[in-house]
Amino acid sequence: MKIDFSILLLNYPYFVSVIIFCLGCLCILTQHNLLKKVIGINIMQSGIFLFYIALGNIKGGIAPIFDPAMPEAAIYINPLTSTLILTGIVVGFSVTAFALALIVKLHQFYGTIHAPHIIRMRSLG
Amino acid sequence: MYLWENMPFILIIGSLVGAFIMAMFARWKRDWCPYLTIISVGFSFILSCILVYRVAGGEIIHYYAGGWRPPWGIEMMIDELGAMMLLLLSGSFLLISIYCIYAIPREIPPSVSGWYYTCFLLTLSSMMGMVATNDFFNLFVMVEVTGIGACALVAAKGEKLSTEAALRYLILSSTGAAFLLFAIAFAYQITGNLNMTYVAAEMAKVKDQFPVIIWVMISFFTIGLGLKAALFPLHIWLPDAHSSAPSPSSAILSGLVVKVYIVSIMRVYFLVFGFDVFTGTYMRYLILVMASAAILFGSFFAFVQVNLKRRLAYSTVAQIGYIFLGFGLGTAWGIMAAMLHIIIHAFMKVCLFLSAGAIYYQTGRKKVTEFTGLGYQMPVTMVAFTIASLSMIGIPLFGGFITKYGIALGSLEANNPYFIALIVLSGLLNASYYLPLVWQAYFVSGPKKFKLEMDAIPFSMLLPIMITAAGVIYMGIFPNGPLSFLGKAVARFLL
């Protein structure tokens, strides 16, 4: 199978967003610090948001506000993906807030936010 | 008339408004919260009954938010499966909220008991939204809200274990939601729609054009929703979260929350992708392998647990495997068995977890080795527990048998009779970890002779246990009603 690299170069925002998504996923899986795991979730979500925005954008497009002064053939970008991402950001914010509250509570219980330490302390009783 | 037309919306918004009212009462009149919750959930239950009645009359209910027609607006669609799920959700929540009156003050600190009901109604509202919606992005939002609500239900206990389990649940479930969001982005990219019906229609046209994207998309849907539905290798969060939560929360999480994700994933596989893509991307075979592994390993893990609620939680992992196995077979009987098992398992698990909570309420016992004499001290609870256990094993006349029979028929239809051996083996494994409890409760003699007495728990805790046990028997003896009701949904799935 031959890969056409010019397609990758033309669509670099998608490529970058997938890389960011994978970095976030890696961060969740490999980091032991609970705060860093939460940051990983945020990185992952940022990658997806970028993907959505890139999806709606058109090169040379303008904001989709109707203006009689504009020529007929003006290219408008797709506003739907941006509005979806507004909702996505709010959802991500609430998840982050809740996770941070739980981490604060865990720190009160165990005195650490390092996941292996917490697991060891729990197994000791 | 207004109510009649906007019923799906009022159903979902009703409990959402209830959640906010409960947040107000949490500060002002904490003692009223349980009763107000029962009123709110009872209202949802009545509306769900009417919706089921309407759907049974042959009508598929479409609701367009704000009057915007599908390609642009958000659409809610209630078909047979959706109506059944709405009835199951609101009915089970009604029973559990009755149980909560006395159980919650015992299990969670009084300062958060009002907030508990806020999360309770929030979870109900978003779960009903998830089964009713026909829009992908709306599905994502509802998935996230359910995730947060369910985590809050676990964390409400405020102990070390439950906080840690809730955090792990939250991290994994938002990871799953991120995968789901990415899958939805791919769906929007290749079809230009977010409405599931339109995505399905476009997908049928372009699926040969974008084989790689289809493949990635179906994998992301499987990871995202499978992580939340606790499909076997992705189940790691489940036992801790379900066992450390307060008993009513465990019943909700095990019996209902994981099921709505399965309903969503079934819709994605069969209604959006279609059976050909589901099989053509080999995802169906992967589901079959993971479901078989879930049944075997879930049962093995459950067998070695000492804590009663942990044993029940691992049993949930195994039972989720049944549902995935049923629709993974992809035949009419298999899908029917999966849908029926969603209902039957909800009855069984709610009954078992509420019984476990009742046992803890009366005697303070948490371990599976401490059942001695319970059959005499708590006869009603233990009879219900026994009924649910026998149903788990798959004894005829109990609900679980119907599923096993359906999956066996489905695997014959799919020319794959090996799964019958799996079902029989799993029945033996279930017996090996449920029957010792029952045997110990009735037939093991303690240091002194037990006297038969009535359960010393409030009647409002006993009632939900008895009703769910009766539901298990009802589903086992008269399965024809739900079978014929869900038949049309199965036919549409296989179209």
- By Cβ distance, the residue of A55, A91, A99 closest to B185 is A55
Which distant-in-sequence residues (6+ apart) come within 8 Å of A30 by Cβ? none
pLDDT of B399 above 60:
yes
Give residue A103's pLDDT.
92
pLDDT of B47 above 70:
yes
Region B304-322: mean pLDDT is 91
Please tell me the distance in Å from A95's CA to the nearest CA on chain B: 7
Distance of CA B91 to the CA centre of its chain: 13
Would strands B61-64 and B75-78 be described as parallel, antiparallel, or unpaired?
Answer: antiparallel
C-beta atoms of A55 and B174 within 8 A: no
Please tell me the distance in Å from B162's CA to the nearest CA on chain A: 10
Higher pLDDT, A73 or A45: A45
Instruction: Report yes or no: A39 at the B interface, CB cutoff 8 Å.
Output: no
- By Cβ distance, the residue of B140, B148, B167 closest to A106 is B167
C-beta atoms of B164 and A106 within 8 A: yes
Region B410-417: mean pLDDT is 88
Which distant-in-sequence residues (6+ apart) come within 8 Å of B331 by Cβ? B410, B413, B414
Give residue B348's pLDDT.
92
Residue among B456, B244, B462 nearest B362 (CA): B456
The model's pLDDT over B48-91, given as tens digits with 9 standing for 90+, comes to 999 999 898 888 888 888 888 888 888 889 988 999 999 999 99
Q: Which band of pLDDT confidence, cut at 50, 70 and 90, is reported for residue B97?
A: very high
pLDDT of A122 above 90:
no
Please tell me the distance in Å from A73's CA to the nearest CA on chain B: 21
Give residue A1's pLDDT.
57
Give residue B210's pLDDT.
85
- By Cβ distance, the residue of B148, B155, B188 closest to A94 is B148
Percent with pLDDT over 90 in chain A: 41
3-state secondary structure (DSSP) of residue B414: coil
Percent with pLDDT over 70 in chain B: 100
**β-bridge mates for residue A62, sequence order:** A76
The model's pLDDT over B198-219, given as tens digits with 9 standing for 90+, comes to 999 988 888 888 888 899 999 9
Instruction: Report yes or no: A122 at the B interface, CB cutoff 8 Å.
Output: yes
Region A65-69: mean pLDDT is 78
> What is the maximum span of chain A, computed from C-alpha positions, in angstroms?
73
Q: Which band of pLDDT confidence, cut at 50, 70 and 90, is reported for residue A46?
A: very high
**So what's the ipTM on this one?**
0.93
The model's pLDDT over B220-235, given as tens digits with 9 standing for 90+, comes to 999 999 999 988 888 8
pLDDT of A40 above 90:
yes
Q: For chains A and B, count residue pairs whose Cβ atoms are closer than 8 Å.
A: 75
Residue spans per domain, chain B? 294-495
Which distant-in-sequence residues (6+ apart) come within 8 Å of B199 by Cβ? B136, B187, B191, B193, B272
- Kindly list the residues from chain B whose CB atom is less than 8 angstroms away from the CB atom of residue A81: 188
Region B332-349: mean pLDDT is 91
Give residue A113's pLDDT.
87
Q: Which band of pLDDT confidence, cut at 50, 70 and 90, is reported for residue B252?
A: very high
pLDDT of B164 above 80:
yes
Q: Which band of pLDDT confidence, cut at 50, 70 and 90, is reported for residue B41?
A: very high
Region B301-321: mean pLDDT is 90
C-beta atoms of A41 and B188 within 8 A: no
pLDDT of B8 above 90:
no
Q: Which residues does B contribute to its contact with A (CB < 8 Å)?
A: 137, 140-141, 144-145, 147-148, 151-152, 155, 158, 160-161, 163-164, 166-167, 170-171, 174-175, 177-178, 181-182, 185, 188-189
Percent with pLDDT over 90 in chain B: 41
pLDDT of B2 above 80:
no
Q: Which band of pLDDT confidence, cut at 50, 70 and 90, is reported for residue B354?
A: very high
Architecture of domain A5-124: Orthogonal Bundle (1.10)
- Kindly list the residues from chain A whose CB atom is less than 8 angstroms away from the CB atom of residue B144: 91, 94-95
Q: How far apart are CA B202 and CA B207, in angstroms?
A: 8
- Kindly list the residues from chain B whose CB atom is less than 8 angstroms away from the CB atom of residue A91: 140-141, 144-145, 177
Which distant-in-sequence residues (6+ apart) come within 8 Å of A101 by Cβ? none
pLDDT of B404 above 80:
yes
C-beta atoms of A95 and B148 within 8 A: yes
Burial class (CB within 10 angstroms; exposed 0-12, middle 13-18, buried 19+) of B458: middle
Nearest CA in chain A to B141: A91
Give residue B261's pLDDT.
93
Q: Look over chain B and give the mean of its residue pLDDT values, rounded to a whole number.
A: 89
Q: Which band of pLDDT confidence, cut at 50, 70 and 90, is reported for residue A3?
A: low
Region B474-489: mean pLDDT is 87
Query: Which of B263-272, B333-342, B442-451 has the weakest average pLDDT?
Result: B442-451
C-beta atoms of A34 and B161 within 8 A: no
- By Cβ distance, the residue of A41, A94, A110 closest to B171 is A41
Give residue A2's pLDDT.
64
C-beta atoms of A102 and B167 within 8 A: yes
- By Cβ distance, the residue of A21, A34, A94 closest to B182 is A21
Region B427-439: mean pLDDT is 89
User: Quick check: B465 and B36 in contact, CB under 8 A?
Assistant: no
Instruction: Report yes or no: A94 at the B interface, CB cutoff 8 Å.
Output: yes
Please tell me the distance in Å from B164's CA to the nearest CA on chain A: 7
User: Quick check: B330 and B279 in contact, CB under 8 A?
Assistant: yes
Among B133, B136, B163, the residue to mutate for chain A (most A Cβ within 10 A):
B163
Helix axes B80-107, B459-477, angle to 10 degrees: 150
Query: Hey, how many other C-beta atoms are within 10 angstroms of the C-beta on B282?
Result: 11
- Kindly list the residues from chain B whose CB atom is less than 8 angstroms away from the CB atom of residue A118: 164
- By Cβ distance, the residue of A44, A92, A102 closest to B170 is A102
Q: Look over chain A and give the mean of its residue pLDDT values, rounded to a whole number.
A: 86
The model's pLDDT over B112-140, given as tens digits with 9 standing for 90+, comes to 888 889 999 999 999 999 999 999 999 99
Which distant-in-sequence residues (6+ apart) come within 8 Å of B100 by Cβ? B34, B37, B117, B120, B248
Give residue B204's pLDDT.
87
